[in-house]
A and B are shown apart, each in its own frame.
Chain A
């Protein structure tokens, strides 16, 4: 019984991905079945349409900058939270984790009406700010877990061998945390890359990949997006590969 449900659930979850992949090779601009022949024209169209490429570059830039900033901020925060006892410690922990539970429209609109409109921050900056805030919880959580499981004696040993506290952290502790940081960064990067709702409030006239795709779906009905979607399956496929070979799948889903 639970076996049957499991199979159906997996099938249900995979159906959209399988459908897009099938349709992406259709020769006709329809989503119907049976297909009227195979072609790669929609793949060609993906590269012919400038908005996808522009959106993709913007999304990559955003995800890269947001993730990098978040790694730095998260590492410092995790060190403070794990290594020190100070007033406000658990409040600080809760605050950096809170963006996960703030509805995206709230965060997006708040930054739009206040930081962008009132403070007059350039739109691109407001978007970086948003994405950094959005992804920090995923990285902080991972680094805190890493630091808690880390043998502090390693850092102490480095210091007693003559390394300053900073060098001991940089040369010994940080490399030991690299799996945790990598796992957090991968999740963060993808969260940022795929973010739609909050991003919509701040894209203005420079689309990200998801907003460009959304516009396309709303205006055109052909399998170009299916082709794009099939190409983008590379991303989750590589997450699975990296998770299985290197970082552990459990860690990728936040455990």
Chain B
């Protein structure tokens, strides 16, 4: 029997009039699991959260919490906590009163309020702020109060809508760390929404990538990063450049392509493609390594002759903008090579492991990576 805090969504569909905001949405979560919904703006992430907590009615599908069908259960009986993007703290109540609100309406005896409020405030390190009003707090503090408020009533499930997006960059990184610790500490089943892949990868056990109301890929951060299942996912995760080539040979999961300049590369065949058809060859910037000057002979399998077009210093790294076969732009992120810095105009070779080269069916529609170097 599924435990308390486990969730199962199957075939969930949500429509706003003629707009389908969520289609055939299926997701199973174990108790205590942390899942990130990742996707571009408007893809239905918030709608998915609203469906789970009951603020949005389904036009099809089922939502189960444990072994209980929740479709007709109103939000206030679902035991789901939610942290809103703008935190939605009650402006006319103090921090402590915000937190005690949930306790009061769910019938916790008044004399226990102070203790529980103190407990959750301690959890988010806000013990001294109980008497403050929300407008007297910084963004990060408000967020902590919002989390404290939603966990105070001990919900089975916690939902967070873009929890870090309202914070500035520095605070965001600090809070990301704190939030991870906090969620792991409580051990609550959590779904959070983000359009920032770094955030998703840092916080979640599993990442669900969404596009246009549907799930396109679901898996652990490592699995998704290593093997995006489509151009959409790969593009969304970003930091990838594409070359064009023809598929020469295909084995189970891997394939060999002939690039336009005659180079052969072996890579992961992400999507089925016919022998002799054109494929897009995805190269992760971080997986490319310089492999000596272009004149140094073959350079081994998976190596590629390119021209340095631009060199940009990015703090601890150097980013090279390269021109590859067919005039396609490639980027390479390298740790600051002490001696072996390449200059603009140099012909060099770069290489990547076969595991880090991804072969896709060519993107239909505009190819934004095809920017001329």
Contacts and interface: CB of A to CB of B under 8 A. Distances in A.
A and B touch in the complex (CB under 8 A): yes
Interface of A: 151, 153-154, 156-165, 167-168, 171-172, 175-176
B86 interface: yes
B76 A165 contact: yes
A162 B106 contact: yes
Interface stretch (B57-65, B87-95, B228-236, B294-302): B87-95
Contact of A160 (B90, B92, B150): B150
B76 A151 contact: no
Given A151-B88, A176-B91, A160 B105 contact: no
B75 interface: yes
B76 A164 contact: yes
Contacts of A167: 105
A175 B82 contact: no
B62 to A, nearest CB: 20
A161 B88 contact: no
Interface in B135-161: 149-150, 153
Interface residues of B, number: 22
Contacts, number: 65
Contacts of A151: 86, 88
B105 A163 contact: yes
Interface in B69-105: 74-76, 78, 80-82, 84, 86, 88, 90-92, 101-102, 105
A175 B90 CA distance: 10
Given A161-B102, A162-B76, A156 B92 contact: no
A79 to B, nearest CB: 17
28 contacts: A153-B84, A154-B90, A157-B82, A157-B88, A158-B90, A158-B105, A159-B55, A159-B75, A160-B53, A160-B55, A160-B76, A160-B80, A160-B81, A161-B76, A161-B81, A161-B105, A161-B149, A161-B150, A162-B76, A162-B102, A162-B105, A164-B76, A165-B74, A165-B76, A168-B76, A172-B90, A176-B91, A176-B92
Interface of B: 53, 55, 74-76, 78, 80-82, 84, 86, 88, 90-92, 101-102, 105-106, 149-150, 153
Q: Which 5 A-B pairs have the closest CB atoms?
A: A161-B102, A162-B106, A153-B88, A157-B88, A163-B105
A163 B104 CA distance: 9
A167 to B, nearest CB: 6
Contacts of B91: 154, 176
A162 B153 contact: yes
Contacts of B55: 156, 159-160
Given A158-B101, A160-B81, A171-B101, A153 B75 contact: no
B163 to A, nearest CB: 14
Nearest to B82: A160
Contact of A156 (B78, B88, B102, B106): B88
B215 to A, nearest CB: 24
Given A156-B55, A156-B75, A175 B105 contact: no
Q: Which of A163, A167, A168, A176 has the most CB of B within 10 A?
A: A163
A1 to B, nearest CB: 44
Nearest to B76: A159
Contact of A161 (B74, B86, B92, B106): B106
Contacts of B101: 158, 161, 163, 171-172
Contacts of A175: 92
A158 B90 CA distance: 9
Nearest to B81: A160
Contacts of B76: 159-165, 168
B105 A157 contact: no
Nearest to A167: B105
B72 to A, nearest CB: 15
A124 B340 CA distance: 98
A193 B92 CA distance: 32
A153 B75 CA distance: 13
B165 to A, nearest CB: 14
A161 B105 CA distance: 8
Contacts of A156: 55, 75, 82, 84, 88
Contacts of A171: 101, 105
